[in-house]
Amino acid sequence: MNFWKAILSEQQKNFSILFRKLSSVLLLILGPLVLILLIGFAYSGEDVHDIKIGVISSDYEMLEPAFANFSSYATVTRYANVSGCVDEIAAQKTHICLEFSPGFIKQGEEELPSGSIRFYFDNSKKALSNKLVESISKFFGGQAEKISIESARTIFSNIQYTVVYLKTKEVDLHLLVNESESIKSDLIERKERLIEIRNQFLPAYLRIKQIQKDANTLAQGYNTSFDSLSQAQAALSSALDDLEKATEFELPEEIPEESNIGFFNISLNTSLNLSFPEDYLAKLAIRTAIIQMRSRLDAFNDTGNSLKKSMGEQLQELDNAVSMLDRVRDLLDSDITASEEYVKKIDSGILNVLAIEAELNQSLKNLERLDPQLAEKLVKPILQDYEPILPGKRSIEFAFPGMLAIIIIFISILFSTIVTLSEVNSKAFYRNLLSPQDNMVFVFGILFTNIIVVLFQISVLLMVGQVSFGIDVLSHIFPVLFIVLLLALFFICLGMLSAILIRNEQTAILSSTFVALGFFMFSDAVAPLETMPPLASAIASWNPFVVASLAFKKILVFSLGATSMAVEAAILVMYLTILVGLLVHFSKKILK
């Protein structure tokens, strides 16, 4: 009981010291409150304004109506080249530059609308630049999507016209198939007629061929007989020559003038005949017979030659006629064969046409499904639907847990360091040490003083979050205050320990400041833990700032309830237990 009375008395003394000087009140209490209010005022809005956009384009007049969409928060300025606009960004006179490709979105007779935009932005202002790029890209991306959809609809409309045209040509294919079938029927009928003609022609043709063969055989026999007869005639002629030589005679020297030797006829007993010798008359008769025989042989030979010639001519005519008949037969056979080939080719062609027609019909069915209304699905075959698990949340609501934790850290560690330093460096401190009162009363008195002031300041920050930021703090006030208490106690103890160990005001305050900065820098406030090296990420995940921020986020952002922060609370309790033990140990060791 005496211990708590002593603690209460220590509180009264500490607050009387704090409020004794106006500078202390302004520095230690009102200063952090003003800072909190300034934070609330600065982060109460999210919309960008007074943005300056530079544009480099050869078709600025055509694009100018589109820039009216940015007039609510930006001013658009035209630049002649990229370097001039980039120099303005470097001089902090322009926030972002847009370079449009020549002929941006212009559509030629045979070209689809297209174009490109290059963004030049200040990546030293990453948050602002990302927001501007996202906003401008969203507008032009939406316009590009509309253009793509319209282009796709135009293409689909042309495809539909092509489908209609091809469907009209499908009738022509049917007509072609029907005409091919008709031609095929005509060819089959012609082939059958040709076969019928050939069947009628072949018997007569074969008979004529036989007649030709028989005639050739007869002609060959006649020629053989004629040759034999010619040989016999030659032999007879030779015998007649011999006989003629054997019966040569001379006429008497005196022949009556009235005699006509040309009409001499030995068969008559004329006075002329009686005037010649008998042998002479016999030779003369033989001679006359030889002459008559020669004459008859010559006549027979002429008749035979004429007959042979006539027979050869007739055979030649017959051969020519048969040759023509052979050609007729060959033509019939070739026409029949050609008709069969044509029928087969027509069948194959019809099958190919039918196959093409089937493929065309299938293609037309597929093309018919390409309705202009499907243009959007073609342009965006995979629809990406982004569904945030925290819809409607503002950026300040996501940043508030980290901001709350870092303000608690800085206020707690600096305030406790300053208060502890002012106490241990005061003249009355040594009188307190000489008093019979336990030194722990002094330590816990300062601890409670610090926690009261810090909780008051953090309460103001929570009110700012509730009123100005629209964060539902009151619904989770007890879990939030519990984490605030654990985090504040940890860094209050850390600040007190720093002041007790160092004693020098400048060194202790700088040390506390750097410790607070170290906790802030080695956390996910600067970079996500997942992007750190594995060892650094594992160490940073145990950072009290990271642990407290995660607990605040679970409660204030995700509204998970008090049970969700059990692990984080246990870690903070463990840290606090260790630090309280160190504070008690060093306080007893040094403050004696």
Quick: pLDDT tens for 254-272.
Answer: 545 444 444 445 454 454 4
Does residue 12 fall inside a structural domain?
Answer: no
Q: What is the pLDDT of residue 490?
A: 93
pLDDT band at 576 (very low <50, low <70, confident <90, very high): very high
Q: Is the dihedral of CA 299, 304, 310, 312 positive or negative?
A: negative
In a domain, 364, yes or no: no
Res. 252: pLDDT tops 70: no
**Cα–Cα distance between 588 and 102 in angstroms, integer?**
79
Residue 81 lies in a domain: yes
| Location of structure tokens 């170290």 | 518
Q: What is the pLDDT of residues 142-187, one digit of tens each?
A: 555 555 556 666 666 666 667 666 667 677 777 777 787 788 788 7
Query: Is residue 41 one of the residues assigned to a domain?
Result: no
Q: 485 lies in which domain range?
A: 393-590
Judge if 120 and 203 occupy the same domain.
Answer: no
Query: What is the DSSP code string of 27-61?
Result: IIIIHHHHHHHHHHHHTS-----SEEEEEE-TTHH
**Are residue 322 and residue 449 in the same domain, yes or no?**
no
Co-location of 55 and 133 in the same domain: yes
The answer to whether residue 172 sits within a structural domain is: no
Q: What average pLDDT score do residues 486-515 get?
A: 87
Query: What pTM, to 2 d.p., does this model score?
Result: 0.55
Are residue 318 and residue 191 in the same domain, yes or no?
yes
Contact between 95 and 51 (Cβ < 8 Å): yes
DSSP 349: H
Do 375 and 409 lie in one domain? The reply is no
Start-to-end CA distance of the chain, whole Å, equals 23
Residues 503 and 423 in one domain: yes
| pLDDT: which is higher, 60 or 43 | 60
pLDDT in tens, 336-358: 788 788 778 877 877 777 777 77
83 and 197 together in one domain? no
Residue 31 domain flag: no
Q: Which span out of 275-289, 504-518, 564-578 was modeled with the highest average pLDDT?
A: 564-578
346 and 397 belong to one structural domain: no
Residue by residue, DSSP assigns 559-582 as ---GGGGHHHHHHHHHHHHHHHHH
- The answer to whether residues 478 and 562 touch, using CB atoms and an 8 Å cutoff, is yes
Averaged over 124-137, what is the pLDDT?
Answer: 74
Residues 479 and 579 in one domain: yes
Using alpha carbons, select from 178, 125, 219, 502 the residue that is nearest to residue 349. 178
* 397 shares its domain with 315: no
Query: Does 207 fall in a domain?
Result: yes
* Angle, CA 32 vertex, CA 540 and CA 26 arms, to 5°: 145
* C-beta neighbour count of 76 within 10 angstroms: 18
Q: Assess if residue 4 is contained within a domain.
A: no
Spell out where 187-323 has E strands: none
Counted domains in the chain: 3
- The whole-number pLDDT of residue 499 equals 86
Structure tokens at 53: 């956009």
404, 534: one domain: yes
Place of tokens 């076969």: 195
Verify that 120 and 237 share a domain, yes or no.
no
**Percent of the chain residues past pLDDT 90, beyond the cut:** 6
Structure tokens at 565: 């922060």
